[in-house]
Amino acid sequence: MKNNSIKKVVATGIGAALFVIIGMLINIPTFVPNTSIQLQYAVLALFAIIYGPTVGFFSGFIGHTLKDAFQYGNPWWTWILVSGLLGLAIGLLSKKINIEKGHLTVGDYLWFNFVQIVANVVGWAVIAPYGDILIYHEASSKVFAQGLLSAAVNSVTIAISGSLLLAAYAKSRVKSGSLTKD
């Protein structure tokens, strides 16, 4: 049990660090101000599936907090919360999708993408914009444009890159039942 806790703390640190590094290095701007295509969400999804909802939440929450602090000078808490909640939601699938078995089924990918798309839409198109309006008094037209675009691009990013990362990781695992006794 103790070894598993240490592994999750280390995974959270690595996940958060990768979130920061990838988020700062690969940031593809879109036509909506302060909104970009960000590949760190695919890595967040991978960590959430491998290590579960706690690692998913804290990797996204801590990683986004540090990224905002380094890149912009201050954290934007509504979006940070959504990054954490996205990792949490995807991480809840870690019990259903056993990536350690060495292969993923079509059903695994369908569940993964269904959950991540719903989480992206609820998070970026609902929670983040309403939070921005209530907490930061931002213009609703601006934050809903940002939120809807973020929901779309993050969903596509995770669907493509996240699914590819899951497939690569699953292939690196020993398939269950593949070893026989001599």
In a domain, 59, yes or no: yes
d(CA 70, CA 75) in angstroms, rounded, equals 9
Tens digit of each residue's pLDDT (9 = 90 or more) over 133-155:
999 999 999 999 999 999 999 99
In a domain, 10, yes or no: yes
d(CA 21, CA 15) in angstroms, rounded, equals 10
Tens digit of each residue's pLDDT (9 = 90 or more) over 2-34:
678 999 999 999 999 999 999 999 989 999 988
What letter would DSSP give residue 95?
G
> Domain range holding 115?
2-91+100-172
In a domain, 135, yes or no: yes
How many CB atoms sit inside 10 A of residue 22's CB?
Answer: 19
Number of domains in the chain: 1
Provide, rounded to the nearest whole percent, the portion of the chain with pLDDT above 90. Answer: 87
The answer to whether the CB of 72 falls within 8 A of the CB of 26 is no
In a domain, 180, yes or no: no
pLDDT band at 181 (very low <50, low <70, confident <90, very high): low
